[in-house]
Amino acid sequence: MWSASSWWGQEGLGAIQPTPEFRLHAFAHRGGLWRIAGRTSDPERALANLLERDRLLTEQERTEIREVGLTGVEVGVGIGEDQLVAEVSRALGLSVC
C-alpha cells in the first residue's frame, strides 16, 4: 500500500509518514477535526477510531517500506518546513542548498 505522500527518487520509493500527533494537529488546524466524527452518535469515540485507523495504516506502510529496504520520513508536530525538505532531499539522494 502506498499513499499519496509517496515519492520516487534516485534512491527508490519512499514515503512521508505522519505521527499520530501530527495527524491530530492537521485535522484540528484544517478545521476538520469533528467533520466526520461529529456526524456520529459518539463523536469522541469516532475520532479516536479514525485516528487509530490512520495510525495503523501508517504503521503498515512503515513496515512494508522497511521490509523492501526503502526510505520513510516521519513527520511530527515539531518538524519545520526546512527540516522536512532537508530530510526528504536526503532520502531522495539530492543535495540541499
Over residues 67-89, the pLDDT tens digits come to 888 788 888 898 888 998 888 88
- Where are the domains positioned within the chain? 16-92
pTM above 0.85, yes or no: no
Q: Tens digits of per-residue pLDDT, 9-49?
A: 555 557 788 888 888 888 888 877 788 788 889 999 998 99
Residue found by looking up cell 478545521 in the block: 31
Whether 3 shows a pLDDT value over 90: the answer reads: no
> Which residues, 6 or more positions from 11, have their beta carbon under 8 angstroms from its beta carbon?
71, 91, 92, 93
Residue 10, H or E segment: none
